[in-house]
Amino acid sequence: MWIADKWKDYEVIDCSAGEKLERWGEYLLIRPDPQVIWETPKTLRGWKRPNGHYHRSSKGGGEWEFFNLPQQWSITYGDLTFQLKPFSFKHTGLFPEQAANWDWFGQKIREAGRPIKVLNLFAYTGGATLAAAAAGASVTHVDASKGMVTWARENAKSSGLENAPIRWIVDDCIKFVEREIRRGNHYDAIIMDPPSYGRGPKGEIWKIENAIHPLVKLCAQLLSREPLFFLINSYTTGLAPAVLSYLIGTEVVPSFGGQVHAEEVGLPVSSNGLVLPCGASGRWEA
């Protein structure tokens, strides 16, 4: 498992009975987590005195309950600063476990010894974009949500990267990739963090089990002659790390060689030494 264990402003304090107790900077949140199917006594004080608690509904969805939590606050990871705010379906605008991947590809970019162009698809609020830019890459950031791209630009400004070579694109990721192929553009590295299910700006439906392989096949056409890495993240239950390995291995390795590794990604739980699984990642590197 690849573990994001270098955080100072974030920690999973405890987890039990379908929920996790987290510290985001100076604030404590309780959020649901479907991986937490075990139950232990919730004796830590934070369980009783959080700043925010997202309650799942038996009918799906849920709602936040707040206790002295600001509308927006920030946390840092190294030189990066992220603006956080609680919004729909339990999210805060950041997936901390992805720091394990930021560290990996950040080092690869810094050690490449040449300019690196990165394409970040389903780029959300820009964690991977900023990590790549801070390492010295030029990045094309693509997300179908204008609001998410605006949020990512705020994070770039907070991190001192407002003038970094980042292209901010609001577009359906598949259509953008198809246009880039027609334009003859290429990238040295591709990152994708596709949702299990989603809709594009014009109502395009995305279902990962149907759409991910065709997209990886398209993206392989965008790789430069000397690509550096290819990264796929998945939060979809049932998509094992091996599936990500096969996807990348089928479409990238025949043309470029290299190696594929895939693992679960996780976060350490400070109260008991466990590691909380948080999806999976597949990495290809030359």
| pLDDT tens per residue, range 70-119 | 999 999 999 999 999 998 789 999 999 999 999 999 999 999 999 999 99
The letter for the amino acid at 249 is G
Longest Cα separation, the chain: 58
Check: pTM over 0.85? Answer yes or no: yes
The pLDDT value recorded for residue 195 is 86
The pLDDT value recorded for residue 237 is 66
Compute how many other C-beta atoms are within 10 angstroms of the C-beta atom of residue 168: 18
Distance CA 162, CA 155 (A): 9
Q: How far is CA 245 from CA 100, 107, 223, in A?
A: 18, 21, 18
C-alpha triplet 194, 51, 77: angle, nearest 5°:
50
- pLDDT digit string, tens, across residues 114-133: 999 999 999 999 999 999 99
- Reduced to 3 states (helix: H, G, I; strand: E, B; else coil), residue 125 is coil
The pLDDT value recorded for residue 206 is 74
Q: How far is CA 263 from CA 1, 217, 241, 280, in A?
A: 5, 21, 5, 6
Strands 259-268 and 2-3: parallel
Whether the per-residue pLDDT at 15 is higher than 80: the answer is yes
Q: pLDDT-derived band of residue 57, with 50, 70 and 90 as boundaries?
A: confident
The letter for the amino acid at 195 is P
Whether the per-residue pLDDT at 220 is higher than 90: the answer is yes
CATH class of the region 2-84: mainly beta
- The residues spanned by each domain of the chain are 2-84, 96-285
Distance CA 267, CA 96 (A): 8
Average pLDDT over residues 239-246: 92
Q: Which CATH number fits domain 96-285: 2.40.50.100, 3.40.50.150, 3.40.50.300, 3.90.1520.10?
A: 3.40.50.150
Average pLDDT over residues 23-45: 96
Edge-to-edge, what's the strand order for the sheet holding 10-16? 10-16, 19-24, 27-32, 52-56, 62-66
Whether residue 142 contacts residue 176, with contact meaning beta carbons closer than 8 Å, is answered with yes
- Reduced to 3 states (helix: H, G, I; strand: E, B; else coil), residue 274 is coil
CA 113 to chain centre: 26
Residues in the chain: 286
Tokens of 33: 């987590």
Q: pLDDT-derived band of residue 38, with 50, 70 and 90 as boundaries?
A: very high
Whether residue 60 contacts residue 37, with contact meaning beta carbons closer than 8 Å, is answered with no
Average pLDDT over residues 64-69: 96
- pLDDT digit string, tens, across residues 177-201: 999 999 999 999 999 999 888 776 6
Whole-number mean pLDDT of the chain?
Answer: 95
The pLDDT value recorded for residue 208 is 83
